[in-house]
């Protein structure tokens, strides 16, 4: 069916349905296909760009083991985590005992589970476009494709820096703990690569008092800054010091993750008392919630002053599955969204800092119903606010259409932050940008064909969505 329509497989992916729409979408997509990729928010490891002879490991280590998008699907269909290489907490990460060929085989046999999912489409893209795999992945082809990828990964053109160039990346931001030494970023900056890889300041583990091992994280922060953190005031000083350090190594943004968007300011005395209780491991009920709500406002204050763009990712209940958490630890595909509230929760922060255009606050939600009801109306008013791209469970073609259909009419395109790929595996980056660009091209083609946008306007919007908005929002 598809074969009769085109010569190159995938050349018209996401375009249409309908020939008119596909034709216009293709033309718009072609107008940005050569633009470099701006990646202001990823979970890629900077290490891969600072060492020489980096190894991605096996195909299973590249595609499956580190990606909870992938193994959560297999787990949901009854495949035990252990068979997917997810290390157990108790026995340590003894990868030597892992049979990566077998993991790959299991994955390949179940690859049909990913039909119609973005994960399936990204992996399909990476196999085809990055590794030149021509066969379909399934139980029969699994080992042959494994060999093919393994061989490719040995070649110099599959070293991270070579791929970075091949992918046409302009800038890539990692996500780093406030206490991180940023040694890899420093090494990269000292090489001829300059600021191609920038850190992002993520202080959750020292700001969220309920983080396991919070006092150890704070001790590390004291060590990193030379500031003896004995209470609220010294904690603030240490955070400010650390932000300066991140900025010196090229950071332009911070990142904060919260279950809710609750914000409310504490008195200095209350803030001081809470931190001192936390340091003595004597937290009272609500201390952590109240402190997080206060610190978001304080972080907005710092961003207003030092210019770091503030990202806020809201809405996941972490580690929903106790059994999985106890055996395998955090971030194992068992984070589940909850209903969101922003209008009342963000009011204290926005009333204090939201009118200042020096602040840029980028909001991400896991509750799509808040896009039209709260986030777009807020972003269409407050100078400081921008809407982040559809995030996590909503990073599909359908999620992008729902987001654009809803958000642009209310807040306008120019109150969105453009695209960020939120990539967990480096090789998925081009696939994610390809999907975003194609889907937005197809969405714009709808506007053009229904006379809601003129051609020259659509071309400008296309460029802004593919490139300009992310670059401008994140000050890159």
Footprint (CB under 8 A) of a second copy, residues 164-223: none
Here's the x/- map for a second copy, 229-268, by CB under 8 A: it reads as: ----------------------------------------
Residue 273 or 336 with smaller CB distance to a second copy: 336
CB of 421 to a second copy, least distance (A): 16
Question: Residue length, the chain?
Answer: 476
Count of CB atoms situated within 10 Å of the CB of 368? 19
Here's the x/- map for a second copy, 27-66, by CB under 8 A: it reads as: x---------------------------------------
* Residues touching a second copy, count (CB under 8 A): 105
Token pair in block for residue 46: 């900077």
Token pair in block for residue 339: 């209903």
Count of CB atoms situated within 10 Å of the CB of 473? 25
Does 73 bind a second copy (CB under 8 A)? Our answer is: yes
Sequence-ordered alpha helix ranges (H) in 51-196? 59-63, 68-76, 100-109, 118-125, 142-153, 160-166, 183-190
Does 313 bind a second copy (CB under 8 A)? Our answer is: no
d(CA 396, CA 391): 9
DSSP calls for 213-254: THHHHHHHHHHHHT----SHHHHHHHHHHHHHHHHHTT--EE
Look at residue 53 and give its three-state secondary structure. coil
Does 7 bind a second copy (CB under 8 A)? Our answer is: no
- Selected binder of a second copy within 230, 286, 339, 475 (CB under 8 A): 339
Residue 245 or 342 with smaller CB distance to a second copy: 342
- Selected binder of a second copy within 21, 128, 215, 247 (CB under 8 A): 21
Nearest to 133 by CA among 59, 30, 44: 59
Residue 176 or 422 with smaller CB distance to a second copy: 422
Residue 296 or 465 with smaller CB distance to a second copy: 465
Look at residue 42 and give its three-state secondary structure. coil
- Selected binder of a second copy within 247, 347, 424, 463 (CB under 8 A): 347
Does 417 bind a second copy (CB under 8 A)? Our answer is: no
Does 416 bind a second copy (CB under 8 A)? Our answer is: no
- Selected binder of a second copy within 30, 55, 99, 112 (CB under 8 A): 112
Radius of gyration for the chain, computed over Cα atoms and rounded to the nearest angstrom: 23
CB of 223 to a second copy, least distance (A): 37
- Selected binder of a second copy within 127, 310, 376, 476 (CB under 8 A): 376
Here's the x/- map for a second copy, 452-471, by CB under 8 A: it reads as: xxxx-xx-xx----------
Q: Backbone dihedral region of 212: left (phi > 0), alpha (psi from -120 to 50 degrees) or beta? A: beta
Nearest to 308 by CA among 246, 257, 356, 264: 246
CB of 130 to a second copy, least distance (A): 18
CB of 71 to a second copy, least distance (A): 10
Nearest to 207 by CA among 273, 125, 282, 289: 289
Residue 97 or 381 with smaller CB distance to a second copy: 381
CB of 57 to a second copy, least distance (A): 25
Look at residue 88 and give its three-state secondary structure. coil
Strand order in the sheet with 169-173: 37-39, 169-173, 197-198
Residue 186 or 410 with smaller CB distance to a second copy: 410
Does 430 bind a second copy (CB under 8 A)? Our answer is: no
> CB–CB of 73/112 below 8 Å?
no
- Selected binder of a second copy within 408, 429, 431, 462 (CB under 8 A): 408
Q: Which stretch binds a second copy (CB under 8 A): 33-41, 111-119, 228-236, 426-434?
A: 111-119
d(CA 463, CA 460): 5
Beta bridge partners of 202: 177
Query: Beta strand pairing status for 201-202 and 197-198?
Result: unpaired
> Which of positions 113-172 make contact with a second copy (CB under 8 A)?
113-118, 121
CB of 214 to a second copy, least distance (A): 24
Q: Which stretch binds a second copy (CB under 8 A): 14-22, 55-63, 147-155, 295-303?
A: 14-22
Residue 181 or 369 with smaller CB distance to a second copy: 369
- Selected binder of a second copy within 108, 253, 261, 324 (CB under 8 A): 324
CB of 450 to a second copy, least distance (A): 5
Backbone CA torsion sign across 171, 172, 176, 181: negative
């Amino acid at each position: 069916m598809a074969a009769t329509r085109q010569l190159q497989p995938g050349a018209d992916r996401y375009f249409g349905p309908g020939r008119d729409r596909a034709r216009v979408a293709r033309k718009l997509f072609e107008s940005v296909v050569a633009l470099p990729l701006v990646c202001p928010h990823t979970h890629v490891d900077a290490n891969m760009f600072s060492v020489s002879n980096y190894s991605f490991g096996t195909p299973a280590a590249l595609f499956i083991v580190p990606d909870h998008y992938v193994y959560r699907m297999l787990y949901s269909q009854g495949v035990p985590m252990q068979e997917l290489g997810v290390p157990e907490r108790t026995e340590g990460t003894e990868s030597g005992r892992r049979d990566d060929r077998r993991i790959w085989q299991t994955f390949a046999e179940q690859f049909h589970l990913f039909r119609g999912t973005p994960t399936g489409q990204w992996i399909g893209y990476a196999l085809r476009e990055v590794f030149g795999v021509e066969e379909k992945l399934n139980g029969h082809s699994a080992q042959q494709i494994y060999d093919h990828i393994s061989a490719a990964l040995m070649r110099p053109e599959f070293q991270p820096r070579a791929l970075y160039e091949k992918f046409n990346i302009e800038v890539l931001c990692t996500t780093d703990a406030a206490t991180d030494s940023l040694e890899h970023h420093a090494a990269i900056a000292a090489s001829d690569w300059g600021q191609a890889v920038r850190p992002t300041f993520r202080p959750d583990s020292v700001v969220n008092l309920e983080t396991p091992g919070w006092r150890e994280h704070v001790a590390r922060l004291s060590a990193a800054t030379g500031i003896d953190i004995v209470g609220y005031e010294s904690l603030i000083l240490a955070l400010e010091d650390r932000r300066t350090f991140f900025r010196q190594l090229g950071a332009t943004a911070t990142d904060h993750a919260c279950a809710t968007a609750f914000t409310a300011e504490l008195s200095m005395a209350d803030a001081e008392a809470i931190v001192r209780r936390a340091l003595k491991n004597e937290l009272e009920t609500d201390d952590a919630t109240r402190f997080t709500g206060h610190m978001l406002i304080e972080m907005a204050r710092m961003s207003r002053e030092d210019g770091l763009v503030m990202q806020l990712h809201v809405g996941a209940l972490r580690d929903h599955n106790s059994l999985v958490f106890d055996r395998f630890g955090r971030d194992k595909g068992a984070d589940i969204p909850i209903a969101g509230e922003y209008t009342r929760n963000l009011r204290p922060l926005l009333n204090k800092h939201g009118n200042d255009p020096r602040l840029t606050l980028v909001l991400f939600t896991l509750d799509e119903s808040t896009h039209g009801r709260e986030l777009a109306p807020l972003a269409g008013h407050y100078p400081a606010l921008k809407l982040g791209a559809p995030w996590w469970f909503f990073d599909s073609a359908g999620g992008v259409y729902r987001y654009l259909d809803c958000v642009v009419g209310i807040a306008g395109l120019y109150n969105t932050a453009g695209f960020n790929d939120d990539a967990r595996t480096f090789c998925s980056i081009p696939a994610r940008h390809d999907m975003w660009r194609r889907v937005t091209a197809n969405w714009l083609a709808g506007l053009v064909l229904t006379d809601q946008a003129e051609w020259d306007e659509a071309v400008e919007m296309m460029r802004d969505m593919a490139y300009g908005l992310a670059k401008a929002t994140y000050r890159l």
